Amino acid sequence: MGPAPQMLAQWQHIVEHLARQMDDPAKFMQQVVRLYGTGEYSEDELHLRDGRIISRRSVPFKCEGEDFGRIWIYTDGTEAWNAKIDALTGLRNRRAYARYFPEFAQAADDGMIKAVAIMDLDNFKAYNDTYGHAAGDGVLRRIGALLSPPIVGDEMAFRIGGEEFLIACKNQTEGGVIAFFESIRSGLTTAAIPHSGNGSEKVVTASLGLALFRGPQDPGSLFEAVDLALYQSKSSGRNRMTLAH
């Protein structure tokens, strides 16, 4: 015997009310409809219109016959999410990197070219020594602004160290990936932030190591390969990008 009609109506009213609170109501409803009647466990994050971040878990349980019911668990994770944001740049921090980068690296092949780059500001200690740490913080905030607009969807940018950033993205072509990262490097140079201690450049620049790949990769090995490419960029004169082998 199925649920009473009034219970179904009440359930639908609650779900529709929840959907209206979401940034993407259609995506919220799509997941609810897809999961009902399956034995799949699900966990994801929901972004509300008021800025809150809600963690959603869905646990199946056996009903009559072969059907499944579901238990939905919603937890306000706004504070925990904010703890993954670097306060200075507004980018994701090292804690978020440890959570999300392995997922990106190990994800199955979806037909797209995946890319990971480590970007390090050139001679940044000399910048802080010359202009002061307050000015250095200002540069880091500008880096956050430079990386924030193009980083959407599956693309991610993390501040993983003092002046070191890791950026991950997808593209349909190798040329598109390389152009994306080259625009970041050249965009910083074009900003022409004075830096008298940066060799002949005399402005703030950055060096990058970049890896392109398809399908799942070991996160640790991937990071090491990109870090080595970054070292090669630094030793070859800085303000350039090197492709990892």
> Are the C-beta atoms of residues 18 and 28 closer than 8 Å to each other?
yes
pLDDT of residue 174: 92
Pick the last residue of a domain from 27, 61, 81: 81
pLDDT of residue 10: 66
Answer yes or no: 163 catalytic: yes
CA separation for the pair 54, 80 (Å, rounded)? 10
Residue 169's domain is classified under what CATH number?
3.30.70.270
pLDDT of residue 2: 47
On average, the pLDDT of the chain sits at: 86
Domain span at residue 30 reads 5-81
| 117 and 237, same domain (yes or no) | yes
pLDDT of residue 127: 96
* Closest to 184 measured CA to CA, from 120, 134, 92: 120
| 64 and 129, same domain (yes or no) | no
Reduced to 3 states (helix: H, G, I; strand: E, B; else coil), residue 14 is helix
Higher pLDDT, 84 or 198: 198
pLDDT of residue 81: 67
Q: Single out the catalytic residue among 163, 164, 174, 224.
A: 163
Pick the last residue of a domain from 81, 112, 131: 81
241-243 and 206-213 beta bridge pairing: parallel
| 103 and 150, same domain (yes or no) | yes
| 188 and 200, same domain (yes or no) | yes
Instruction: Tell me: pLDDT of 212 over 80.
Output: yes
CA separation for the pair 68, 35 (Å, rounded)? 10
pLDDT of residue 185: 96
Instruction: Tell me: pLDDT of 6 over 70.
Output: no
| 231 and 111, same domain (yes or no) | yes
Higher pLDDT, 209 or 41: 209
Number of domains into which the chain is organized: 2
DSSP character for 22?
Answer: B
| 158 and 230, same domain (yes or no) | yes
Compute φ and ψ for 61, nearest 5 degrees. Answer: -145, 155
| 104 and 211, same domain (yes or no) | yes
Which range (44-58, 101-115, 190-204) has the least confidence?
44-58
CA separation for the pair 176, 92 (Å, rounded)? 24
Pick the last residue of a domain from 81, 113, 133: 81
Which range (51-65, 75-89, 177-191, 223-237) has the least confidence?
51-65
pLDDT of residue 54: 81
pLDDT of residue 152: 44
Mean pLDDT, residues 204-229 taken together = 97
CA separation for the pair 208, 69 (Å, rounded)? 50
| 126 and 202, same domain (yes or no) | yes
pLDDT of residue 32: 81
| 69 and 43, same domain (yes or no) | yes
Higher pLDDT, 157 or 17: 157
Q: What is the pLDDT of residues 18-30, one digit of tens each?
A: 888 888 888 888 8
Q: What is the pLDDT of residues 38-70, one digit of tens each?
A: 777 777 778 888 878 788 888 877 766 656 677
